[in-house]
Amino acid sequence: MLTLFDKISTLKDKLADTPKGQPKQSLKPSKADKTSPSPLQKASSVLPGYEFLELIDSGSLGKVYKAVKKSTGEVVAIKQIKDAFRNEEVAVQLVREVQILKKLTEIGSPHITRIHDFKVSEKADRVTLYIVMDYVGTNLLDVLDNSEALGFTEEMAIKVLYGLLCSLKFMHEANIVHRDIKPQ
């Protein structure tokens, strides 16, 4: 996503490249720029009960947004998975993961990120899955990468490891094996 600074720099470059004798391009946004909804606006239109605040992360499977549930003011994370059902194998895996998350949420554990809601959006030939989850705010990798600056002590490491082990125990008691544990 381009920042305002990037947009201004691009426009300045376009103006600088205009040959002499030709009219300079306008710095005003075009009509198309005014009417094209931003990715946040597009996502908000699918889940109108949420106000999308910012893009947190983007990867090969989709994007994660920080949002607020309008009715409660609760801050949540919303995973957007585009082309969620592009093939049967991926579709089965995603449905299974959502079912597992819902099951774990219903059982309840302070060490598991809860799923609040999910929605499937179909537009043209694209299917997008939205999963509304607890907003955590950071991840273990960021904490570890900045451990010196944060004053990350051995006692803190023990608490983090204890929470991780409690979540694994909770999942195993629910007959779930997590095969993708990572600090992100």
Active site (catalytic) residues: 180
DSSP code per residue over 42-105: HHHHHSTTEEEEEEEEE-SSEEEEEEEETTT--EEEEEEETTTTSSHHHHHHHHHHHHHHHHHH
Tokens of 66: 């920080």
Residue where the block lists tokens 């993708």:
180
Could you tell me which residues are beta bridge partners of residue 54? 66
- From CA 169, how far away is CA 184, in angstroms rounded? 20
- From CA 174, how far away is CA 105, in angstroms rounded? 11
- Cβ neighbours for 122, distance < 8 A, ≥ 6 positions apart: 128
Q: How many CA atoms lie within 13 A of 87 on its CB side?
A: 2
Residue where the block lists tokens 């470059």:
13
